[in-house]
Amino acid sequence: MTPSSATFRTRIKICGLTREQDVDAAVDAGADAVGFVLYAKSPRAVTVERAAELARRLPPFVVPVLLFVNEAPDRVQAGLVAVPGSMAQFHGDETPELCGQSTAEGRHRWLRAARIPLGAAGAGFDLLNYAASYSQASAILLDAHVDGYGGAGKVFDWSLLPTAVDA
């Protein structure tokens, strides 16, 4: 059976929220997922406890996503347990093996951020190979590669990437 086009629809995740009114606005705008940054060096970082508090505002079918950058597997697992129904997003230098280990080998769903180089360098990024390497991820999230971690609101040239990665 071939998956329906709905299986491959674009999902919207709004990330870096720290205030109740922003979580509510994201939900009202139709976000599929809301991200909470658990990377202490980010200006949008929250504690696991704060993420859990904010996630309790989410209605059914809006998924809380916990963003980690090069975090120890036990801390990732503790975060996922503390925020029921959450999934992990790895945004650092994590290998596929570390992502699996950090999510208790499949007990928790996870996303992998692909950091796409800005400008013409984006043409050299092999998204198909990247997606194949992280095939256990529930999804690949595309973000601009900037100094540090996170896209910082920058836009990469989407036209340099393949139009489909499900081949």
Return d(Cα 114, Cα 128) in angstroms, integer. Answer: 11
The answer to whether the beta carbons of residues 6 and 32 sit under 8 Å apart is: no
Q: Is residue 101 part of a domain?
A: yes
Token pair for 142: 């595309």
Q: Is residue 165 part of a domain?
A: no
How many beta carbons lie within 10 A of that of residue 72, not counting itself?
Answer: 12
Q: Is residue 70 part of a domain?
A: yes
Residue 166: predicted pLDDT:
58
Q: Is residue 167 part of a domain?
A: no
Q: Is residue 150 part of a domain?
A: yes
Residue 40: predicted pLDDT:
94
pTM for the predicted model, two decimal places: 0.87
**Which residue segment(s) compose the domain that 86 sits in?**
5-160
**pLDDT tens per residue across span 82-106:** 999 999 999 999 999 999 999 987 8
Q: Is residue 144 part of a domain?
A: yes
Q: Can you state the percent helix, strand and coil of the chain, rounding each to 5? A: 30, 20, 50
- Catalytic residue list: 15, 143
Find the CATH number of the domain harbouring 146: 3.20.20.70
Q: Is residue 54 part of a domain?
A: yes
Residue 112: predicted pLDDT:
96
Residue 105: predicted pLDDT:
79
Residue 34: predicted pLDDT:
98
Tell me the pLDDT of the chain (167 aa) as tens digits: 455 555 667 789 999 999 999 999 999 999 999 999 999 999 999 999 999 999 999 999 999 999 999 999 999 999 999 999 999 999 999 999 999 999 987 899 999 999 888 777 767 888 889 999 999 999 998 888 777 776 567 777 778 777 765 54
Residue 6: predicted pLDDT:
56
Residue 167: predicted pLDDT:
47
DSSP-derived secondary structure letter, 84? T
| H helix or E strand, kind and range, residue 115 | strand 110-116
Q: In what order do the strands lie in the sheet with 13-15?
A: 13-15, 33-37, 63-68, 87-90, 110-116, 139-144
Q: Is residue 59 part of a domain?
A: yes
Total domains present in the chain: 1
Residue 1: predicted pLDDT:
44
